[in-house]
Amino acid sequence: MSGDLELHYANLDSAIDDLAASFRQMVEQNEETMSKLKQVLGTELIGQFSGAADAFSLQLSGADTRMSTKIEEAKTVLGEMRDTIRDADMLASTHFDHTRG
């Protein structure tokens, strides 16, 4: 039984690592997009287009912040699930060892 549960929380550890890697990649892509947008704002766009691009930049930044928060929340929940499974595994192992004498 212990081995089965270990696989479950190992899978959760892997999911947490994958989520963190995906998050880092998304942040890098967003930063690159923001940088390109700022370059365009500074050199090519004027008037209404500049205002619209600036508004878009602010919306993108807000979305990035909200996404970061959601990903951190997901990592926390996955960590809690992993810890709960690990605790259950320990309790089951202890109980099994105790009942076997």
Higher pLDDT, 49 or 36: 36
User: Is a pLDDT exceeding 80 seen at residue 21?
Assistant: yes
Domain hosting residue 11, numbered range: 2-100
Kindly report, residue by residue over 48-79, the tens digit of the pLDDT. 676 777 787 788 888 888 888 888 888 888 88
The number of domains in the chain is 1
User: Who contacts 52 (Cβ-Cβ below 8 Å, separation ≥6)?
Assistant: none
* Residues 74, 33: Cα–Cα separation, whole Å: 25
Q: Specify the residue for token string 């878009």.
A: 56
